[in-house]
Amino acid sequence: MIQSFENIVPIEYTDIFKKSWIEQQDKKFVIWYDDQDQTVNDPDLIIDERIEYFPGSEEYALVEELVKKIRPDADYILAYYQRQSKPHQIHLDDLEGCDHTMVIPLNHNPEAKVLVWKPYFDNVEEFRDYLTAWGQSDSLPLYNISESYDIEHTIDQNNGKYLSDYMELEGVYSYNLGSMGMFTSKQLHCSSDWTKIPGQKFKELVIVHTN
């Protein structure tokens, strides 16, 4: 399930999150380099860089307050400032103890999307089996999702097809400043290619995983 909660994040919270990226240089770490050798420490090759917000920090307290508005019983929260220059493939968030993923945009860019599909998997291994079966099948229903959204980065290089076109879409979240998006972590999802939007080099958000 995917939900959008509009006008829930005060602009002053957004400003505090953005300030942390400028002032906490020593806390940044890289998730993904644009190179097959992940040991290459070249700033020009960084795709996904983050800061984790820990309990006791101002940023974590703000995230916790926002999460509790939507999920009052949540008691386990992982929160990161995320700055990304290239969209991920279709994936699930297979994190122990986390059932929901939340997105807090730090820029107003409704052309940028999160797409969530209906298929749900208990773990990455199940998804890999699903991918194998999909690659070998030629009789699945066709939804043509790739014709409506900028998701060229998700094409399968082995067969030239889009996995997205063979799954029913659950819903779409737009990056509206002040809003939060939430979906089930183990449903398949991905971002649209925001780099196609004029002037939009990076995606900047607070990404939250919770129970």
The predicted model scores a pTM of 0.92
- Compute how many other C-beta atoms are within 10 angstroms of the C-beta atom of residue 191: 23
Mean pLDDT of 142-147: 96
Give the pLDDT score at 207: 98
Cα angle at 175 between 169 and 181, to 5 degrees?
60
What domains lie within the chain, and their CATH numbers? 2-210 (2.60.120)
Mean pLDDT of 166-194: 97
Mean pLDDT of 100-108: 97
Residue with the larger pLDDT of the pair 51 and 35:
51
* CA pair distance 110, 122, nearest whole angstrom: 31
- Compute how many other C-beta atoms are within 10 angstroms of the C-beta atom of residue 6: 10
Give the pLDDT score at 40: 57
